[in-house]
Each structure stands twice: as C-alpha cells, then as structure tokens.
Structure 1
Amino acid sequence: MFGFDISSVSSFVSQEHYRNYFNRPDSLTQGGITASMAGGSFVGSLVSSDFQDIFGRRVALHVCSALWITGAIIQSASQNQGMLIAGRFISGLGIGFGSASAPVYCSEVSPAKIRGLIGGLFQLSVTVGIMVMFYIGYGCHFIDGVASFRLAWGLQMIPGFILLVGVFFIPESPRWLANHERWDDAVEIIANVVADGDREDPDVHLQLDELQEQVLIDKDAANFGYADLFKKDCRKRTFIGVSAQIWQQLCGMNVMMYYIVYIFEMAGYSGNVNLVSSSIQYVLNVVMTIPALFLMDRVGRRPLLIGGGIFMFIWLFGVAGLLATYSEPIENFGGDDTVRILIPDEHKAAARGVIACSYLFVCSFAPTWGICIWVYVSEIFNNRQRAKGAALATSANWIFNFALAMFVPSAFRNITWRTYIIFGVFSVCLTVHVIVQFPETRGKTLEEIDKMFKDNIPAWRTSSYVPEMPIVHKEKIGSTEHIENASNLSEKPIMVHEEESV
C-alpha cells in the first residue's frame, strides 16, 4: 500500500483526462495533491505509537488497512481537487499507521540472524507496490475518459482488503505480549518462530532470557513519552533514527518516483514512450531490492549505506550536468508550466545519458538506502523506546516527503536542473553522516545493540564490537514476582540475575 501511494498519481500528472477534470492544476496545486497523502502519513505515524503500545501491532495494522480502503473509495469517487486531497489524506493516515507499525513488528517477531531479511521484505513489498500501481495507471491511461484514473484509484482497495484479512493469520509481537503480562502467548510464538514449536531449543531459551531482562527494564519506564527520546541516554539514537529517515527523503528518491514523468519530459520524451521508459525505473527498483535482502546480513548496514550514498550523488550530479549543458529553456511542455527545460532532438545522446543516470540512481538507492533504513531504524531503539522512536523517525520521513512532494514541482519550474544539484549535495552530506555516526547493527540482538549505545562505541568501530552481556541464570525458586507465567517454557520458573560480565 505504501508503494501504491508513491506511484498512484505519477502516471497521471501529464494525462489530459486527469488535468482537465481537476482544472489543470498548476505546479503548486499538483504538489499539494501529491503531498496530501504524505501529510496524512505524518499524522498517522505520530498517533500510531501510543495506539500500538496499548492495543498491539496487529490492531494497528488493521487500522492501517481500514483507513487505506476508506481513502481509496473517496479518491475513486472524487468530484474536485478538495475531495481528491481529502481521500489521499485519509489513505495517508493508514500508511502512517502501517509504516510505523510494520518495521517494528518485523524486528520484534524475527530472530536476530534473519532480522535483516525479514525487515527487508517490508521495503521489497513497497517497491513491488510502486511498480504494480504504475503499470495499473499505465494500462488505465488507455481508457478514454475519467474512468482511467477512477479505476486505477479504486483498485487500490485490493491490497487494503488483503492486509485486513491477512493480519488475522499472523501472531502478535512476543515483545508486546510480554510487556502486557501475556507470557504464555509470548513463549509459544517465540518457540514457533525460532524452533518450529520446540520450547526446549537453546535459541528459544536465549531469546526468552533476553526478552525477560528487557521487559523488567520496560516496566520501570512504562510512562515513556516523546520528550524522553531527547534525554541524555536516548538522544544519540533518536538523532540517528530521525536523521536516517530524513536523509532517505533528501537523497531525492521519492522525487524520482513521484515526478519521474517530468524528468523524462525534460529529456524530450512524451506520451506513451515517456510512460514506458518511466516504468523501467520501477522494475529496476524491485529487481535491485531483492539482493539487499541478503546483503544486509552478510555485508552489513554501514557499508551498504555508505556505498549507496556515494553512487547516488554521482548520478544526481550527472543528471544536473547533462541538463545544464544540453537543455534549452521552454515556456511549458504540452501546456504544463512545471517543465521549463528540454533537451532538443539534436542532443539525443545527452537525453539518453539523463535516462541512464536516473536508472543507475535507482539501482544505487534500492539495495542500500531504500531497504536498509527501515530495518535500521527499528533496530537501534530498545523495547522501551522503540514504538515512540520508530514513530518519531517515521513521522520525520513523512513530513519531509510531504515538503518535497509539495515544492519540487515549483523547484522544477523555477530553478530547473539546479534541483538535482541540491539533492546531490544532500547525498554527499548523508554519506559523511553515516561514516561518523551510524553504528553497525548486523548480527546483533536488539539487546546487544542497546548495550552498544550505552557503551558509546564510535560508529567506525562497531562492526567488530562484541558487547559484554550479563550472565542469565535459571534457578528454582518457590515463586517469582516478575515472570510468573513464563514457567510454561520449562518446569522451572525463571528469575534473572546479573553477575560479573563475560
């Protein structure tokens, strides 16, 4: 659904039926239509943190699907710009719930050794959604009349219904269950996920021991709020998480997705050729996301983020240079004043160079910043901080998504190719930031990552860092105050002691 959001308008921004029905929106108005969904997502991601802490991750995902379906109905029935914006805003509320809840759920339910793979499936589904929705829009643009965009937006309800039904068949987060004293359910889910139901498996014992220790900490901070994210013990990871999501927007990828049709118009492509050429970008986004599912847990998060940043600024500066050198000013493109430059036919090689740089940019983003950030942000916060931290970071992503979607059409109109210089500079900055402050989280449990932050290890040393974790013992006692229901794991109740470090 997140992916459907990104490309639900991109295939129609230059279509005559769409432009005529909605009174030929200018660059600022079109920015508002596109950005309205990101605005709703910003609000939804903030509200979702308290909601998912109280009612659980599964309920939050159900709310996501219900809001998305409602918004899709309103969009497909839109009679004017205001109704379209309202429908997109409501769908955005749902996406805000989902984008804050789904990565947290993935990190909490998956074993450490495959957490990157499981979390990466979130971004893969986004890229598939982007591609599918763009091709739906492409197919519908052949329909003569307003049914072209109405049908496309109505079909957005399908993934909403799939999620609504599918959530009934997935388990609740064991960490959420443990924090709500439902240890029997938490143990059962951990055993099923980690060892096919074998409660005596060593990995089950290890994961449960770590969870028990973390839950005791959580109970001491039950009233954790957004203000607490900026206290001394949490300030660093909050800054990293929020910055990571902001950089994902400022690198310019969603601009490439929302307004790819405009970019290809600057290169001199129009009509059906433009849409087909643009669609290749979405295919590449899906294909290049798949390797990252395995690279994250083999290569690590830091190398992928650093390498992705370097390649992205190379291709962005390449687009800017080609457009600056070979494009010529025009008043508008097919009556749309957003596009003010055009590469003429005598410089077709330069036009193909712009297209190649756009494709290579996507190939650099998808396996790095596209997939790693959602996994990474859900990993760096401990249980006490995660729901609020992930929600705040996600909201930062959405507010910058909103700002870029709103104002990039105006930037194309006013500063043309210089827009890409700005995003190229941002990509340089994000690369430097990763090098100096983003720690490596590959192969570490969520509890080990928490210890790493507490030990204040420099980012460039975290790949080889091995935390000193407390010894966890199981002892037979008459009763246990903390985790009474955990006794289903074995015949002995469990109590956590901290002794000397190993």
Structure 2
Amino acid sequence: MGALSCIAFGDRIGRLRSIFLGLALSVVALALESSAYSLGQFIVGRLVIGGAIGIISVSIPIWQTECSTTKHRGMFVIVEGIFISAGIAMSEWISFGFAEAFQNSAQWRVTIVFPVWLAFFVIPVLFLMPESPRWLARKGRTEEARHIIAAVMDKDVDSHEVNAEMNHIEYTLESTQGSLSMLFKNTKERYFHRAIIAAMSQAMTQLCGCSAMIFYTSTTFADLGYTDIPGRFLSCGFTTTFTVFAFIPLFTIDRFGRRRLFMLSLSGLAVAMAVMAGTSNKPELAKVTVAFMFIFAAFYPLGFLGLPFLYAGEISGLRMRTPISAIAVSAQWLSQFVVAQVTPPGSANLKNRYWIIYAVLNAAFIPLIYLFFPETNGRSLEEMDQVFENSSIFSVVRHAKDLPRESQLDFVAVEEKYRPHTEFAEVTKISRNNQP
C-alpha cells in the first residue's frame, strides 16, 4: 500500500519530497515499535513502517534513475543494492550481538530503534540534493532542469550535450500521453506492456527464493545441525556474503548490460537450489548444502539486489514512471509476503523437496528474460520510449537491439533531431530567454 500510494502523490510533490515523507514516517514507526508495551501499538508501528518502506523503495530508484547520465546510470542506481544487502547484514550482526548481551526486551527494542540514526543522517542531506530534472521539466521548470542536467553532465548550460538532452526530454513530454487510464489501454506508448515487464522483474527478486533463504536461514542451518551460536554465526556470514558480492555489479552493469546479469544470476540460483534440494536431507552432505547456500548468496546480488529497481525505472517512460514503478515494487512486496507465508508449511511438509520449486522457477525465468526483456544499457530514458512505441510484445527485444543508439551519434545531430517544434516549446524558449 505504501508503494501504490506513490501513484497518488509521487508526481505531485516530486521525488525528494516523497523520499522525505517516507523517511519521516519511518522515524515515527520505529519510535512506535521500540516503545511498544501493547500489541496494538506494535501493530500500528509495523503498518506505518511498511508504508514508509513502500514509499522509499519507489521514490529513491526513480530519483536515482532520472538524475543519472546514460553512461553511468547502471552503476549509480546499483549502489542501492549494496546498501540493501549491507542493511540486511547489519541487522543480522546487531541481532546476534544483542541476543547474547541481553536477556530482556532490550534484545528487540534496541535493534528496532537502531536504524533511526540512518534516517536522521539522510534527511538533512536531502535538502542539499537536486530534484529530478525530468520531474522539473514535466512541471514546466525547464530552466532548473537544464542547470541540473548541466551539473550532472559537467557541461556548460548551453552546450550541445545539454541542449540535446533537454530537447529529448521536451520532445518526449510533447509526443506522449500520460493519464493514468492509459496504463490499462493498448496504446502506442505500451504502458501496460512496460508495467507487466517491470512487475515481473521485481517479483523475480522474491520468487527466486531469496526471502525464503533470508527469513529462515537460522531454521535451515538448525535443520542441518548448526544450532545456537554456530547457526547464528553462519546466518550472519550468509547475509554478509550478499554485501560482498553486491559490489560486482558496480563494474559489470554498464559493461555487460541488464539482460546478461539477470540470466547469469538466475542460472547460478537455479543450480544452487537444485543442489540444496538434493543434499539438504542427508546429514553427511550438510557441508555441501551450506556451501551452495553461500553460492546462492553470491549469485543473487549479481542480478537481483538493485537491478530490478533500475530496470523498472528505465523502461517505464517519463509520464508513467511513478505509477509503473509503484506497481512493480508492490509486486515485489506481495511476492515477498507470499514466500514468507508458504515457506514454513512448505519446508515442513516437503522437506528438502521444497527447494525444487525455486530451482524450477529460476530456470523458467531465464527464457522469459531472453524473449521479452529488452536491453536498456547504453540508452537514454527517452530512447526506451521509442523502443516500445515501435515494437510489439514479441519484437521489443529485437527492436531494442537493432535501434541505433543516440549515444553513438553526434550531439549536434541529436539536438536537431529532437528540437521542440510545438507551442509548448516556443513558450519554454521565451521563458528561458527572459531569465535574468
């Protein structure tokens, strides 16, 4: 619900204000939870923190995507994955430490309130950050957008590179439609098609079995014979492995592209799950199971920590970026809910065979990505509009591959190609020329 709420206000108040709202709600929620002495207060805190996380997980990737240059957009947004995994690892280590240090409610009160300092650190920094230039252009604040693009590109405000980018954004705003009802119609912009792909990429982050591994790691290690401190220590090491390997996409995302990392990651996850299914019921092979649990933790960050957030923002289009991203992120949280609910009865009744489900799903996702997920690497956000507008469900991958990349063209040519020619453009030009 927090993610979907961004559809109502995300494009109205902007990216940074949305992030601020999510962070402010998280502070309130953590205070409610950590100070709870009744179940009702604790439940309210859980509901508020859930809404806050939903808002944050939609707004931050959109802001990162829209403030990045085409060349380094993948690296910039994928940093989010590093901090997601670092947060998970930090929570495990803190929980481990406090479980041994206290024997009262401080075990959970301190660990719950601990993340407040992160929000207190980020909130004042937001006031120093630039708003998304694409959101500013959409609101008619083109001069501000131009200056931010110039700063991001490290170019002069009137350079050909900045003019080309601004012309491209204005051209997209003029030539595309954007009412929310268009999301559910088969129009030339293919917003519904994009929403399905974005939601699928986000759902895969959980349907691959990640949450089953993270939420119930201690239980899995206990079933293998690693109980108490050894089991907790292995759980901490498991989540730390996510963080270590989350650095690899920083150097590969803009070199090898999105599709290859998706498929490479899924291949490793499928093999890891298959081996776990075959060994986790045999005590003599417990070390093999543990090894492939860590292999799972190594392959998952390659394609599914920050990449789905990046991909959803890249394919969604300026006018529908917030609604499509909100739907995609909500698909992730709903998938996580399903996995969290079915894992206890699934593992209890199916034992080691439960992991076969995720091995099959991971293998099945690979051809889906190969056939239906277009490559976005090296393309501007506005270029992806052309990819979808000139293709069908079955040809979008081929069209994304064949369409000439504007990054390979001369900036002067791009500037002229997308030079605005409507009344809106003339008003924008007059407004800019009248600036002091």
In 2, distance between residues paired with 1:471 and 1:269? Answer: 61
Aligned to 1:354: 289
Aligned to 1:213: 171
CA separation of 1:236 and 1:121: change in aligned 2, threshold 3 A:
same
Aligned to 1:61: 19
Deviates more, 1:240-249 or 1:77-86: 77-86
Deviates more, 1:400-409 or 1:289-298: 400-409
Q: Is the 8 A contact 2:379 2:405 kept in 1?
A: no
Partner-residue secondary structure (3-state), 2:416: coil
1:451 to 379, 386, 397: 386
Q: How does 1:468-479 map to 2 (within 5 A)?
A: 472-473=415-416
Shift of 1:235: 2.8
1:461 to 387, 398, 404: 398
Q: How does 1:79-94 map to 2 (within 5 A)?
A: 79-94=37-52
Give the share of equivalent positions with the same residue, in percent: 25
Q: Is the 8 A contact 2:171 2:418 kept in 1?
A: no
Aligned to 1:102: 60
Q: How does 1:381-460 map to 2 (within 5 A)?
A: 381-456=316-391, 458=395
CA separation of 1:314 and 1:106: change in aligned 2, threshold 3 A:
same
2:180 to 214, 218, 224: 224
Q: Is the 8 A contact 1:60 1:98 kept in 2?
A: yes
CA separation of 1:193 and 1:475: change in aligned 2, threshold 3 A:
closer
In 2, distance between residues paired with 1:371 and 1:228? Answer: 25
Q: Deviations over 1:2-25 (max 9, x none)?
A: xxxxxxxxxxxxxxxxxxxxxxxx
In 2, distance between residues paired with 1:74 and 1:422? Answer: 38
Aligned to 2:78: 120
In 2, distance between residues paired with 1:259 and 1:407? Answer: 12
Deviates more, 1:430-439 or 1:154-163: 154-163
Aligned to 2:307: 372
In 1, distance between residues paired with 2:217 and 2:196? Answer: 31
In 2, distance between residues paired with 1:78 and 1:112? Answer: 46
The one-letter code sitting in structure 1 at the alignment partner of 2:180 is F
Shift of 1:82: 4.4
Aligned to 1:303: 260
Q: How does 1:277-292 map to 2 (within 5 A)?
A: 277-292=234-249
Aligned to 1:5: none
Q: Is the 8 A contact 2:387 2:400 kept in 1?
A: no
Shift of 1:427: 0.6
Shift of 1:318: 0.7
The one-letter code sitting in structure 1 at the alignment partner of 2:265 is G
In 1, distance between residues paired with 2:352 and 2:171? Answer: 54
Shift of 1:283: 1.5
The one-letter code sitting in structure 1 at the alignment partner of 2:416 is H
2:280 to 305, 323, 334: 323
CA separation of 1:170 and 1:486: change in aligned 2, threshold 3 A:
farther
Aligned to 2:409: none
Q: Does 1:188 align with 2:123?
A: no
2:125 to 166, 170, 186: 166
Q: Does 1:177 align with 2:136?
A: yes
Q: Does 1:242 align with 2:193?
A: no
In 1, distance between residues paired with 2:39 and 2:419? Answer: 67
TM value normalised by structure 1:
0.79
The one-letter code sitting in structure 2 at the alignment partner of 1:224 is L
Aligned to 1:270: 227
Aligned to 1:482: 425
Q: Deviations over 1:363-397 (max 9, x none)?
A: 11111122321111110111122111111111111
In 2, distance between residues paired with 1:115 and 1:471? Answer: 20
Higher helix share: 2
In 1, distance between residues paired with 2:138 and 2:222? Answer: 53
The one-letter code sitting in structure 2 at the alignment partner of 1:266 is D
Q: Is the 8 A contact 1:53 1:176 kept in 2?
A: yes
CA separation of 1:354 and 1:211: change in aligned 2, threshold 3 A:
same
Q: Does 1:147 align with 2:94?
A: no
Q: Deviations over 1:426-454 (max 9, x none)?
A: 11111121111111111011111111112
The one-letter code sitting in structure 1 at the alignment partner of 2:425 is H
Q: Give the unaligned 5+ runs of structure 1.
A: 1-42, 327-342, 494-502
The one-letter code sitting in structure 1 at the alignment partner of 2:206 is Q
Q: Deviations over 1:442-475 (max 9, x none)?
A: 1011111111112227355356422488965399
In 2, distance between residues paired with 1:78 and 1:406? Answer: 25
Q: Is the 8 A contact 2:280 2:352 kept in 1?
A: yes
CA separation of 1:131 and 1:483: change in aligned 2, threshold 3 A:
farther
Partner-residue secondary structure (3-state), 2:293: helix
Q: Deviations over 1:374-426 (max 9, x none)?
A: 11111011112211111111111111111222332222223222221111111
How many residues end up aligned between the 2 structures?
Answer: 424
Shift of 1:134: 1.5
In 2, distance between residues paired with 1:476 and 1:60? Answer: 32
The one-letter code sitting in structure 2 at the alignment partner of 1:231 is N
In 1, distance between residues paired with 2:361 and 2:40? Answer: 33
Q: Is the 8 A contact 1:76 1:151 kept in 2?
A: yes
Q: Does 1:73 align with 2:31?
A: yes
Deviates more, 1:131-140 or 1:227-236: 227-236
The CA RMSD measured in Å over matched residues stands at 2.6
Shift of 1:476: 11
Q: Is the 8 A contact 1:183 1:486 kept in 2?
A: no
Partner-residue secondary structure (3-state), 2:100: coil
The one-letter code sitting in structure 2 at the alignment partner of 1:473 is E
In 2, distance between residues paired with 1:321 and 1:474? Answer: 58
